Structure 1
Amino acid sequence: MELVNQFENAVAESKTLPEKPSNEILLQLYALYKQGTTGDVDTDPPSNMFDFVAKAKHEAWTELKGKTKEVAMQEYVDLVKNLKG
């Protein structure tokens, strides 16, 4: 339960970071969030091959397949801590 609280706090803190993270870090945050809340990717890849953002998000999440929700949550918390400085 403690990890869930830390995760929820990190999600809130991620919206108030001192500076906007790079696109790579944003993708990592997205993928860890999805893996931590939903688990393995449960959607089909985007059908529009020109929707590069949706494709990148789907691929980032897919790369975490098999990672437990708990590990993903902890990695998200750690990443936000590092971003806060």
Structure 2
Amino acid sequence: MDFATAQEKAKSFTKKPSDDIFLEFYGLYKQATVGDCNISKPGALDLKGKAKYEAWNKNKGMSADDAKAAYIKAYEKYAPQYA
């Protein structure tokens, strides 16, 4: 399976993953497609933005290829529960 296929399949999960799982996918996706986090940390009142920032930033230094591989592994891990 390649990264693009894993993305499409993850988008079509029939059950909504928990916020923690969503953030895992989000952080790996951003690292794979953009690289290291390049935005300012959101303010304390922006809880959703802060969670997304932290999910992305925890993958700092990971190469795009490693992030894509980790995304695919995450998809394969969670697909039986949510697909």
TM over 0.5: yes
2:4 aligned residue: 8
Consecutive aligned runs of 4 or more in structure 1 exceeding 6 Å deviation: none
The CA RMSD measured in Å over matched residues stands at 1.2
Q: Paired residue for 1:59, among 54, 60, 80?
A: 54
- The residue type paired with residue 22 of structure 2 is L
Report the TM-score, using the length of structure 1 for normalisation.
0.87
2:14 aligned residue: 18
User: Secondary structure of the residue that 2:37 maps to in structure 1?
Assistant: coil
Pairwise mapping of residues 17-56 of structure 1 onto structure 2 (< 5 A)? 17-46=13-42, 48-56=43-51
Moved more, 14-23 or 63-72: 14-23
CA distance in structure 2 between the aligned counterparts of 1:32 and 1:45, rounded to whole angstroms: 18
Measured after TM superposition, the shift of residue 20 of structure 1 is 1.2
Gaps of 5+ in 1: none
CA distance in structure 1 between the aligned counterparts of 2:58 and 2:74, rounded to whole angstroms: 17
1:17 and 1:83 in contact (8 A); partners too: no
1:68 aligned residue: 63
- Number of aligned residues: 80
1:32 and 1:75 in contact (8 A); partners too: yes
Measured after TM superposition, the shift of residue 18 of structure 1 is 3.2
